Amino acid sequence: MRSATKKVILIFLLTAVALVISLPKTIPLKFKLGNINVDKVLTRPDLVIKGGKFDIEKKFDLVLGLDLAGGSHLIFEADLTNIPQEKRVTAVDGVRDVIEKRVNLFGVSEPNVQTSTYGGKERVIVELPGVKDTQEAVNIIGKTAQLTFAEIVTEDEIQKLSPTSLTGADLKSADVTFDSTSGKPSVSIEFNSEGATKFEELTGKNIDKPLVIILDGQEVSAPVVKEKITGGKAEISGNFTLEEAKNLSIQLNAGALPIPVKLVEQRTVGATLGAESVTKSIRAGIVGLAMVLLFMLLSYGKLGLVADAALVIFGILTLALYKLIPVTLTLPGIAGFLLSVGMAVDSNILIFERFKEERDKHAFADALEISFGRAWDSIRDANIATLVTAFILANPFDWSFLHTSGPVRGFAITLALGIGISLFTGVVVSRNLLRVFVRQNVATKK
């Protein structure tokens, strides 16, 4: 068997595997064949390999970005005015950790929390897929949630609030409970051992006096102490709604933010709009692809058919790769993919145009080989130039002087991947396809 034939078989095998990966997980089969009614759902099994330390579990699902799946993109800026320079990094990392905990407690699947620095400004970027009530999320994430207990001291016959050393840092956990008499929601808290000791002392000192609970500088409640409380349990019963009580318990459990943050940017896309974007871009993709396929066929005949085959293989491989890496697909990302479809045939066009010239001077098969060889220089140089721009847009090293935004990055990544794969399909795949099919055709004609 000739090596080209072997390569073509390999290419087809690769494509077949990629096709299985790139198809949707379940495909409903419903048709009638004579008297036989077929009504089945084909399901692709997930890849699960369990061997000692290495567990491989691949689900092969497309990861959709916030603009397609719906969700919120929030950017908080940390207020660093009172923080000395050397402590800023730790403070911002602390903010990120607390926010991450809060988001997790809020119950978001696959959130993304990261920090970013630009021009002396420290930011925390929070991505929440599928969250409907963004406002609530913002309320939970953005509040400092600094809890302090204060006692009332009388100085020169004037009553004053005096904050004590008992704070939210002394908490072990917080929970929502309902007041047994009024039925109103409140937050029960449990102190750690140190906090419990402090609380015992504090309550012992303040019998028959109110103990003021302050959250972010605001008085939440001021229960009057009846007796010394041991065991480190207390209840905050302000005038909470159920939501507020829930949010407060999340904030207390995650801990207070070391520094206050401010929401500077918010982008929320509803799931409806996201789903519509997906349908619309798929439709645009199909129409565009059909036009490109037809154009190649009309312009280059049989050669065009080979280019079309290479293009279809390109599409299948790219989609499979998106799932394998996985690439988070955004709307600009889809645009990048569609663009790379348009560019993928470029190598073929270059080669075929070259072939038209060479055919006059050489035999059919030789002319093909020569065209591939000659066109390679320009294909390589031109594509490297595109990769340079894609690299700058994708900014893989997170250089702070360049864009670090999700949508731009999504576009650049799909564009770069597209170029990479199109080099393979446009040159290697179409060359070997031509070697096998066109050559044999010529041979039989002779």
Q: Which two tokens stand for residue 321?
A: 């790769």
Is the Cβ–Cβ distance between 314 and 19 less than 8 Å? no
Q: Which two tokens stand for residue 159?
A: 């009553």
Partners of 163 in the β-ladder:
150
80-88, 217-225, 238-246, 280-288 -> range binding other proteins (CB under 8 A) = 280-288
Q: Which of 14, 80, 152, 402 binds other proteins (CB under 8 A)?
A: 402
- Does position 268 interact with other proteins (CB under 8 A)? The reply is yes
236-244, 245-253, 257-265, 430-438 -> range binding other proteins (CB under 8 A) = 257-265
Scan residues 408-427 and list those touching other proteins (CB under 8 A).
408, 411-412, 415
Nearer to other proteins, 149 or 352 (CB): 352
Nearer to other proteins, 8 or 296 (CB): 296
d(CA 446, CA 443): 5
Nearer to other proteins, 221 or 277 (CB): 277
- Does position 65 interact with other proteins (CB under 8 A)? The reply is no
Q: Which of 99, 103, 292, 421 binds other proteins (CB under 8 A)?
A: 292
3-state SS assignment for residue 284: helix
Partners of 161 in the β-ladder:
152
Taking the mean position of all CA atoms in its chain, how far away is CA 189? 35
Q: Which two tokens stand for residue 109?
A: 């699947």
Nearer to other proteins, 122 or 170 (CB): 122
- Does position 295 interact with other proteins (CB under 8 A)? The reply is yes
Minimum separation from the CB atom of position 261 to other proteins (A): 12
Q: How far is CA 367 from CA 3, 113, 307, 359, 431, in A?
A: 19, 56, 17, 5, 12
Site map (CB under 8 A) of other proteins, residues 116-135, x = contact: --xx-x------------xx
Beta-carbon-side half-sphere exposure of residue 170 (alpha carbons within 13 Å): 19
Q: Which of 343, 365, 370, 428 binds other proteins (CB under 8 A)?
A: 343
Cα dihedral sign, 189-195-200-204: negative
The candidate with the shortest Cα–Cα distance to 432, out of 5, 130, 1, 109, is 5
Beta-carbon-side half-sphere exposure of residue 203 (alpha carbons within 13 Å): 17
Q: Which of 403, 420, 423, 428 binds other proteins (CB under 8 A)?
A: 403
Q: Which of 10, 13, 47, 263 binds other proteins (CB under 8 A)?
A: 263
Minimum separation from the CB atom of position 423 to other proteins (A): 13
Give the list of residues 6+ apart from residue 178 with CB closer than 8 angstroms, or none.
184, 185, 186
- Does position 273 interact with other proteins (CB under 8 A)? The reply is yes
- Does position 389 interact with other proteins (CB under 8 A)? The reply is yes
Nearer to other proteins, 21 or 66 (CB): 66
Q: Which two tokens stand for residue 391?
A: 């690299």
- Does position 373 interact with other proteins (CB under 8 A)? The reply is no
Is the Cβ–Cβ distance between 332 and 411 less than 8 Å? yes
- Does position 283 interact with other proteins (CB under 8 A)? The reply is yes
Nearer to other proteins, 235 or 346 (CB): 346
Nearer to other proteins, 12 or 118 (CB): 118
Fill in the DSSP letter of residue 432: H
Scan residues 194-223 and list those touching other proteins (CB under 8 A).
none
- Does position 241 interact with other proteins (CB under 8 A)? The reply is no
Q: How far apart are the first and last CA of the chain?
A: 21
Is the Cβ–Cβ distance between 140 and 115 less than 8 Å? no
- Does position 335 interact with other proteins (CB under 8 A)? The reply is yes
Minimum separation from the CB atom of position 15 to other proteins (A): 21
Q: For residue 341, how many other CB atoms are within 10 A of its CB?
A: 20
Which position has the token pair 């692709």?
44
Beta-carbon-side half-sphere exposure of residue 86 (alpha carbons within 13 Å): 0
- Does position 405 interact with other proteins (CB under 8 A)? The reply is yes
Nearer to other proteins, 137 or 166 (CB): 137
3-state SS assignment for residue 266: strand
- Does position 329 interact with other proteins (CB under 8 A)? The reply is no
- Does position 166 interact with other proteins (CB under 8 A)? The reply is no
Count of residues that interact with other proteins, criterion CB under 8 A:
72
Nearer to other proteins, 295 or 424 (CB): 295
Minimum separation from the CB atom of position 255 to other proteins (A): 23
Site map (CB under 8 A) of other proteins, residues 78-117, x = contact: ----------------------------------------
Q: Which of 284, 325, 363, 442 binds other proteins (CB under 8 A)?
A: 284
Q: How far is CA 422 from CA 48, 311, 348, 418, in A?
A: 30, 8, 10, 6
